[in-house]
Amino acid sequence: MSDWSLVELLGGLHDDIQQRLATARKAFAHPGTKGDASENVWLELLKNYLPHRYQTETAHVVDSEGAFSEQIDVVVFDRQYSPFIFHYQGQTIVPAESVYAAFEAKQSINAGQVSYAQKKVASVRSLHRTSLPIPSAGGLLPAKPLQHIIGGLLTFESDWTPPLGESLQEALSGAEPDGRLDIGCVAAHGMFLCDAEGCHTITPQGKAATAFLFELIARLQCSATVPMIDIRAYAKWLAK
């Protein structure tokens, strides 16, 4: 029998993320620097552990009608079937069709940060997305229905006592449909989930970062593949 332990491996992944988030919180005095460090911890986790068909960046999202989202801390998007991505002066812009998930990453969860994350997620989901019929060996397949864009909030700590109690439930329940948060992680305490009816389940979890990663991967598997983008809808802006 091998000396490897799956319990130790999965627990160690969470412990590493929690420790790095704690270090970012304690080591940096400037709020902006502290925030950037926390975002990078989550970005690195997803870049290292999500399948390579997904890419993860801090980004703006744009649609074919020229509308932009707000800047999103963590965008999970397709790189296998989405040809249109723009990098300029350290800024990343991705087409709305390619987005699988959008997360805000903050030091601590509270009512203000939940509301802020809801607005950020809504700025992505409200964008126009195209979907073309798909050529195949058997002929033209119908256009793929638009997948639900996963939205959420990632933090290290909670400002509430208890950390994952009624106050969190209240804050989560007040969103419009476009701003609904589907999944979130409070690394020091647990995670929250949302089902298709919009009901949130709050789960205290000793290894929350690893549990969040696995839940996100499971939800991405259910999303299948992004729709076929109408690149000519974006090309029309060349004539403006």
d(CA 91, CA 183): 26
Query: How high is the pLDDT of residue 67?
Result: 97
Q: Residue 157 pLDDT > 80, yes or no?
A: yes
Q: Residue 136 pLDDT > 90, yes or no?
A: no
Domain ranges of the chain: 21-232
For 91-106, what is each residue's pLDDT tens digit? 899 999 999 999 999 9
**DSSP run (H or E) holding 95:** strand 91-95
- Report the relative pairing of strands 54-62 and 72-78 from DSSP bridges: antiparallel
| Three-class secondary structure of residue 32 per DSSP | helix
For the chain, give the percent of residues with pLDDT over 90: 62
Sole residue written with tokens 């502290």: 34
Exactly one of 104, 157, 182, 215 is catalytic; which is it?
104
> Does 26 qualify as catalytic in the annotation?
no
Report whether 186 contacts 158 (CB < 8 A). Answer: yes
For 45-66, what is each residue's pLDDT tens digit? 999 999 999 999 999 999 999 9
For 205-217, what is each residue's pLDDT tens digit? 789 999 999 999 9
* Amino acid at residue number 16: D
Q: How confident is the model at residue 22 (pLDDT cuts 50, 70, 90)?
A: confident
Report whether 122 contacts 152 (CB < 8 A). Answer: no
* Amino acid at residue number 74: V
Residues 6+ apart with CB under 8 A from 238: none
CA angle 141, 146, 149 (to 5 degrees): 145
Tokens matching residue 34:
């502290």
> Does 106 qualify as catalytic in the annotation?
yes
Query: How high is the pLDDT of residue 33?
Result: 60
Mean residue pLDDT of the chain comes to 89
Exactly one of 73, 78, 97, 215 is catalytic; which is it?
73
> Does 104 qualify as catalytic in the annotation?
yes
Report whether 189 contacts 183 (CB < 8 A). Answer: no
Exactly one of 106, 120, 157, 182 is catalytic; which is it?
106
Report whether 226 contacts 147 (CB < 8 A). Answer: yes
What is the model's pTM? Answer: 0.91
